[in-house]
Amino acid sequence: MGFTDQRFTVNSSILFSELPLLERPAAVAAAGFTALELWWPWVDTATPEQAELDALKKAIEDAGLQLTGLNFYAGQLPGPDRGALSVPGEESDRFRANLKVAADFAQSLGCKALNALYGNRVEGVDPAEQDKLALENLVLAAKEADRIGAILLIETLNKPESPLYPLVTAPAGVEIVDKVNEATGLGNAKFLMDLYHLAMNDEDLPAVIEAYADKTGHVQIADKPGRGAPGTGELPLEDLLDQLKKAGYEGYVGLEYKAGDKPSAESFGWLPAEARAAR
């Protein structure tokens, strides 16, 4: 199997980020891909003007791409923030204000996966208070995702790069998935298995796949170290994706790596052109 038997989607918030937002979909298509995913594109606002939403929708449609995943508002990403939903006060309020906006945008493009980053620990706030708020907001997010027929993704990051983010192991992420599903009864919360973040946490990736493939709603990859393209580091990503497929995972694999010093369009040499269109 290997790379040629996967359904790839390009995260155009990290790849092609050298281009203006509205030019990225066309660049993704020009590189031979048919699907893309996005972090919340407007880091300064959870509720952009409708004209901005419409312009991005048009750019994606004009490029002939499928939007496969979208983050809810998560603060300054990339940057120091790692989510908003567990941060009391204005950030949590922004997250809630964003729920319908993000879900409606996703629905308008047939997107079936919404990702909710948990949020950093905040100095002076009881972690238990943050966890309580997080569950309340994740329940709201799961219900909003369910309204449009989508799943809610919950992601673990890695401690070296996100030391204030509390979900830095696969079991921790899956525990929250289970809590949300128990609270809502909807069953639409799923684990986002990011192999790069898990590797940075020195987790046993084959064991994680064996344990949690059935609870996984999306997969993302980058090589370690450096978060570069497959083949630039030490991870056996082809073998790991094969294992995921054998374990029953049939979803998209998000390319969430850094292109390095070269243009993003030149970073796909590891993947044959005929394997780039999602099937």
Single-letter code of the amino acid located at 117: L
The CA distance from 74 to 69, in Å, is 14
Which two structure tokens, joined as six digits, stand for 59?
């750019």
In 3D, which of 166, 211, 173 has the Cα closest to residue 192?
Answer: 173
The CA distance from 131 to 87, in Å, is 9
Q: 267 in helix, strand or coil?
A: coil
Beta carbons within 10 angstroms of residue 98's beta carbon? 25
**Residue 181 pLDDT greater than 90, yes or no:** yes
pTM over 0.95: yes
**Catalytic annotation present for 256:** yes
The CA distance from 146 to 221, in Å, is 26
The CA distance from 149 to 273, in Å, is 32
Catalytic residue among 37, 91, 144, 155: 155
CATH of domain 2-275: 3.20.20.150
The CA distance from 28 to 9, in Å, is 9
Segment 173-182 mean pLDDT = 98
| Residues 31 and 278 sit within 8 Å (Cβ to Cβ) | no
21, 25, 48 from 42: Cα distances, Å: 10, 16, 7
**How many Cα atoms are found within 13 Å in the side-chain-facing hemisphere of 178?**
8
Q: Is 16 left (phi over 0), alpha (psi -120 to 50) or beta?
A: left
Q: How confident is the model at residue 147 (pLDDT cuts 50, 70, 90)?
A: very high
Q: Is 213 left (phi over 0), alpha (psi -120 to 50) or beta?
A: alpha
pLDDT digits (tens, 9 = 90+) for 20-38: 999 999 999 999 999 999 9
The number of helix segments (H) and strand segments (E) in the chain equals: 8, 8
pLDDT digits (tens, 9 = 90+) for 44-91: 999 999 999 999 999 999 999 999 999 999 998 777 888 999 999 999
pLDDT digits (tens, 9 = 90+) for 84-137: 999 999 999 999 999 999 999 999 999 999 999 999 999 999 999 999 999 999
The CA distance from 266 to 240, in Å, is 24
Quote the distance between the C-alpha of residue 208 and its chain's center.
Answer: 18
The CA distance from 72 to 46, in Å, is 8
pLDDT of residue 279: 73
In 3D, which of 141, 60, 140, 152 has the Cα closest to residue 114?
Answer: 152
Give Cβ neighbours of residue 112 (< 8 Å, ≥ 6 apart): 68, 106, 149, 150, 151
**Residue 271 pLDDT greater than 90, yes or no:** yes
pLDDT of residue 78: 79
Segment 179-195 mean pLDDT = 98
pLDDT of residue 59: 98
Helix axes 50-62 and 90-108, enclosed angle (nearest 10) = 40
pLDDT of residue 1: 61
Segment 152-177 mean pLDDT = 97
pLDDT of residue 119: 95
Mean pLDDT of the chain: 96
**Residue 166 pLDDT greater than 90, yes or no:** yes
Beta carbons within 10 angstroms of residue 17's beta carbon? 16
